[in-house]
Amino acid sequence: MPLPQSYLEDIAARLEPGMREAFLQAVRALRAQADPAHIAGLLENGDVDGVLDAIGLNDPAWLNSFRAAMAEGFVAGGQETHAGVRDLIIDAISQDILPPGSDARLLATFGIRNLPAEKALRDYDMGLIREINDNTRDGVRTFLEDGMEAGRNPVQSALDLCGRIGESGEREGGILGLTETQARSVQRARDELASTDAPTLRRYLGRELRDRRYDAAVLRAIRSGEPIPEAIQEKAGTAYSNRYLRYRAEVVSRTESLRSASVGQHAALLNAVATGALPYDSIRRFWMDTDDERTRIWHKEIPDLNPDGVGLEEPFATPLGPLLYPRDPEGEAENIIQCRCWMQIRLTGSGNRWLDMLAFPVPG
């Protein structure tokens, strides 16, 4: 029986909440161990590299809990694909597309100790963890360097970096954990809240991630020309930063829960070929877009750019460069982040005979 077309998305839906929480816990742990007083002392000497080391961003081990959640998605994608490959082979044997006994060559289970799978997970893990860690380091470095250039008080910068102890007993509102662009957005929002200039305050009201509970205070400041009370500025800025961190966690977990399952899917196919269960040249892969209003326009063009499909290790041509499969970790960010496309896997035989591994969606 063919696998459902949505099986990778179903895996991602199961794993995304845990992956999101693993990322947030990793950031909370970084903030909890940070010492604002020590960081302020380093900033007084202009030692940004020392701050990065003191926080723990020179060692990506802070992402170990997230790494474990990512590996879970990889294994789940590989295991379900492995089961689908077994069913595909059995059907192919019954239709004389593959010779009898092909299924016996397939390993009993999918595991990360199979060589192709082990390499795929290692490459994906190293690239992803380095990317997240580098983006987080860049966010901290840019924020601190901007602060020094603006003459910001080192103590203030240290607290804005690590966050302040909130009612929960945890640090809240810091930019630690955000990317460079996100950290700058938080600082600009804080600057807007501190302003008495009406157009500047209105820019804050245009921020999608702001906490609207503080809009009334901003509107009063616009009408009166008086500054927003510092306590409210701090609360609004903290809420905005917290929401941005949550947003980053959601984007990362949504993308990586599906991407890790996709990497596992490809590894399972490589395993099947490596054992001789599937002939390398018998596999054709076809890009399928989700064909709804959320689908990238250029992703709708990919099927027509690859009308005959591609081989197992042949990349798809796309308007933004080659991709080995949807959400390929080697692809450009704008070509893969939150992509929901899927890939039909077709086993071909002589006499124009073929079998699809995934069931096509039933028209609604």
173 domain residue, yes or no: yes
pLDDT, tens digit, 9 for 90 and up, residues 113-137: 666 788 888 888 888 899 999 999 9
pLDDT, tens digit, 9 for 90 and up, residues 234-270: 999 999 999 999 999 999 999 999 999 999 999 999 9
CA distance 34 to 56: 8
CA distance 318 to 325: 11
Structural domains counted in the chain = 1
157 domain residue, yes or no: yes
More confident residue, 23 or 294: 23
Q: What is the pLDDT at residue 354? A: 84
Vertex 44: Cα angle to 38 and 46 (nearest 5): 105
Residues 139-153: what's their mean pLDDT? 94
CA distance 26 to 19: 11
CA distance 317 to 336: 14
Q: What is the pLDDT at residue 15? A: 94
Q: What is the pLDDT at residue 344? A: 92
Q: Indicate the pTM of the whole model.
A: 0.89
Percentage of residues of the chain with pLDDT beyond 70? 97
364 domain residue, yes or no: no
Would the CA dihedral through 245, 246, 251, 255 be positive or negative?
Answer: positive
Residues 41-70: what's their mean pLDDT? 94
CB contact set of 194 (below 8 Å; sequence gap of 6+): 227, 228, 233
Q: What is the pLDDT at residue 112? A: 67
Residues in the chain: 364
Question: Which residue matches tokens 């063009």?
Answer: 301
Percentage of residues of the chain with pLDDT beyond 90? 74
What mean pLDDT, rounded, does the chain reach? Answer: 92
- In the predicted structure, residue 364 carries a pLDDT above the cut 60: no
Range of the domain at 163: 3-359
CB neighbour class for 171 (10 Å; exposed up to 12, middle 13-18, buried from 19): buried
